[in-house]
């Protein structure tokens, strides 16, 4: 399958080129030339399939023309070596727990898949690749751990100083080996701008082969569609013919875009809710039709602290730049830190279920946006223990930290401090490579 740029000013490329390049030369994001619908029989029997079977079927649609089935199936199986359970929180409200992977966040799915796909292509090309990733929290840890020790690949994680949780920071600054953490004096948007600027720098690209592991990369965001199908399969085991609404914590919009791709492939989701914190650029677009990026502000749901979401371009392209078509499928709400804290406290007291700040946002939006005859699924994107101080203060108690998560805190931090200056960032990349 070929991939084109959302800006339509770059040549179409193969899957391998799209994955290795990350960003198109015209600064657009790559999109598959077509999105095939899955057969009706697949959905009629979906509740009888397991996670690996569903993911392999979906992966075949996206990547089957470019990667041998045996290899692609192995990538899927190796990626999804953990559970993604759907649980009922209260009547008509279900949570999809996406935090059972090695870094306890939803991005383990896309990051692990991309690491294995990129490794496949690197082994074919026999050329060292440098992976650049900007993170507002969980992306950095998922990518760093997904690529840790992968031969032929170096990873540079850029993160805003003082704006990720202590636990998140430990997950990518203590690894060493082929992982370099760059602590930037700025916001997530500054980190993302540095990454995008690196791809546009001719000298840098002539010296180094660069790619991105943010959701701008097709190998990162497309696999995230797997768990939407899996959530529906689990729900269908309990409820037939449910009208399904899915609430998605939204920052860089990769998770939402993957869900919209799943819908385009035939998944029966009536509506998506894109929930924002105070960084509500996308919500404002849905309400007004005007997209006005702005500097992000810090909140307790830090993975959603994005003021210029990259995947907005993909959503526009998917819907032919029609605001009317987008709003027919997507609504949005925003919540303050105080509202998020109250949700964590209230749900724990009422249902004995512990939310992280991002899941709390999604829960609130689902309760506000779901009609009585609809069944709601919200995404819990990170383990509450990754935000132990915030969550602990909400429930007025201590959280039990999983042993595998606590282990990250025992190692020494290794990071390089940088101002938000591209020339210094460029020099660092050259010196480290």
Catalytic annotation, pick one of 107, 236, 263, 386: 107
pLDDT, tens digit (0-9, with 9 covering 90-100), for 178-220: 999 999 999 888 998 999 899 889 899 999 988 888 788 999 9
Topology of domain 108-218+410-432 in CATH is Rossmann fold (3.40.50)
Measured CA to CA, the distance from residue 216 to residue 8 in angstroms comes to 16
Identify any residues that bridge with 244 across adjacent strands, giving them in sequence order. Answer: 375
pLDDT of res. 199: 87
Q: What is the residue-averaged pLDDT of the chain?
A: 93
**What is the domain partition of the chain in residue ranges?**
80-104+221-401, 108-218+410-432
pLDDT of res. 124: 66
The pair of structure tokens assigned to 33 is 């030339």
Measured CA to CA, the distance from residue 131 to residue 111 in angstroms comes to 11
pLDDT, tens digit (0-9, with 9 covering 90-100), for 342-351: 999 999 999 9
**Number of continuous H segments (helices) and E segments (strands) in the chain:** 20, 13
- Does residue 21 have an active-site annotation? no
Topology of domain 80-104+221-401 in CATH is Rossmann fold (3.40.50)
Categorise residue 216: left if φ over 0, alpha if ψ from -120 to 50, beta otherwise: alpha
Q: Do domains 80-104+221-401 and 108-218+410-432 have the same CATH topology?
A: yes
- Under a CB-based contact definition with an 8 Å cutoff, are residues 235 and 293 in contact? no
With 80 as the cut, is the pLDDT of residue 138 above it? no
In angstroms, how far is the first alpha carbon of the chain from the final one? 32
User: What's the pTM?
Assistant: 0.89
The DSSP-derived string for 278-343 is S--HHHHHHHHS----------SSGGG--SS-TTHHHHHHHTTT-HHHHHHHEEEEE--HHHHHHH
pLDDT, tens digit (0-9, with 9 covering 90-100), for 362-371: 999 999 999 9
């Amino acid at each position: 399958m070929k991939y084109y740029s959302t800006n339509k000013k770059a040549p179409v490329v193969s899957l391998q080129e799209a994955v290795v390049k990350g960003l198109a030369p015209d600064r657009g994001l790559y999109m598959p030339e077509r999105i095939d619908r899955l057969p009706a029989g697949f959905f009629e029997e979906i509740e009888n399939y397991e996670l690996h079977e569903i993911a392999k079927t979906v992966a075949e649609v996206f990547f089957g023309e470019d990667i041998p089935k045996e290899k692609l199936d192995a990538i899927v199986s190796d990626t999804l070596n953990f559970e993604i359970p759907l649980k009922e929180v209260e009547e008509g409200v279900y949570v999809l727990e996406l935090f059972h992977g090695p870094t306890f966040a939803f991005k383990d799915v896309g990051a692990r898949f991309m690491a294995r796909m990129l490794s496949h292509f690197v082994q074919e090309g026999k050329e060292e690749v440098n992976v650049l990733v900007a993170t507002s929290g969980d992306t950095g840890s998922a990518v760093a751990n997904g690529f840790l020790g992968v031969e032929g690949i170096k990873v540079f994680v850029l993160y805003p100083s003082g704006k990720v949780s202590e636990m998140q920071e430990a997950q990518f600054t203590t690894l060493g080996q082929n992982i370099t953490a760059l602590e930037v004096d700025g916001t997530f948007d500054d980190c993302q701008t540095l990454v995008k600027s690196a791809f546009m720098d001719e000298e840098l690209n002539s010296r180094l082969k660069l790619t991105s592991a943010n959701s701008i990369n097709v190998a990162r965001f497309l696999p995230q569609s797997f768990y939407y199908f899996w959530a529906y399969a689990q729900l269908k085991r309990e409820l037939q013919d449910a009208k399904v609404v899915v609430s998605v914590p939204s920052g860089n919009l990769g998770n939402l875009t993957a869900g919209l791709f799943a819908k385009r492939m035939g998944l029966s989701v009536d509506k998506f809710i894109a929930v924002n914190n105070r960084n509500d650029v996308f919500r404002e677009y849905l309400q007004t039709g005007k997209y006005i990026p702005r500097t992000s502000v810090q909140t307790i749901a830090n993975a959603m602290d994005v003021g210029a979401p990259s995947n907005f371009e993909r959503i526009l392209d998917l819907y032919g730049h029609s605001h009317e078509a987008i709003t027919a499928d997507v609504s949005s709400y925003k919540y303050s830190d105080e509202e998020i804290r109250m949700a964590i406290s209230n749900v724990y007291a009422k249902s004995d279920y512990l939310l992280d700040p991002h899941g709390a946002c999604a829960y609130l939006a689902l309760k506000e946006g779901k009609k009585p005859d609809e069944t709601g699924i919200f995404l819990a994107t990170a383990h509450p223990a990754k935000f132990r101080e915030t969550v602990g203060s909400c429930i007025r108690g201590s959280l039990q930290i999983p042993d595998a998560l606590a282990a990250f805190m025992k190692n020494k931090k290794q990071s390089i401090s940088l101002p938000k200056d591209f020339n210094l960032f460029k020099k660092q990349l050259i010196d480290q490579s």
